[in-house]
Amino acid sequence: MTISAADWPARRLAIEVDGSLDDAVARYEALVPQYPAARFEQLVADKADWRTVVAVTDEIARHGFLIYWRFSGDSLFGLAGDTTRWAAYLMGNHTIAERMARHDPAAMLYAPLRTVISQSPGGPTRFVIEQPRLQFASLGNPDVTPVGIELDHKLAALLDALHWPVPDGLTQ
């Protein structure tokens, strides 16, 4: 039995966006739709081919991503006196994740991607995410790393579609 450990650089992108938290959440959720579990469960039940899964995913995820989970615990945390508002998400694309998981299932540690939209009282609204390329490159797998770079580009395109600033490191 062996145990391995890996340390790697990470880059958290905290992007100040225009408008209120409610506005940012509404814009984000309009461009990144909820994962329609029942629809994909039906594809599994029908034993659909993978091309069909990809086509349905592309149809739904117009900007490349779906929301698999959302948690807005600011009202709950408010019971402890917290005043910052936020919504946390798992955002991703299962057809892209499959292209990595087939080479290294550990890629699922980082897929879907974690995102947070937050606003402190009187402060700016921020969209926060860790840069995908660095997360997936940490696996050291030459079949996984290029997909992480592709995710950087898809994230840049999503930010552009949201009319939010795009960090330089996503497009290089």
- Give the CATH number, domain containing residue 67: 3.30.310.70
Would you write out the chain's pLDDT as a tens digit for each of its 172 residues? 999 999 999 999 999 999 999 999 999 999 999 999 999 999 999 999 999 999 999 999 999 999 999 999 899 999 999 999 999 999 999 999 999 999 999 999 999 999 999 999 999 999 999 999 999 999 999 999 999 999 999 999 999 999 999 999 998 7
- The answer as to whether 55 is a domain residue is yes
pLDDT at 102: 98
Number of domains in the chain: 1
- Work out the end-to-end distance of the chain between its first and last CA atoms, rounded to an integer number of angstroms: 40
Range of the domain at 36: 12-165
- The answer as to whether 6 is a domain residue is no
- The answer as to whether 159 is a domain residue is yes
133, 135, 141, 145 alpha-carbon torsion, rounded to 10°: -10
- The answer as to whether 4 is a domain residue is no
Global confidence as pTM: 0.95
- The answer as to whether 112 is a domain residue is yes
- The answer as to whether 25 is a domain residue is yes
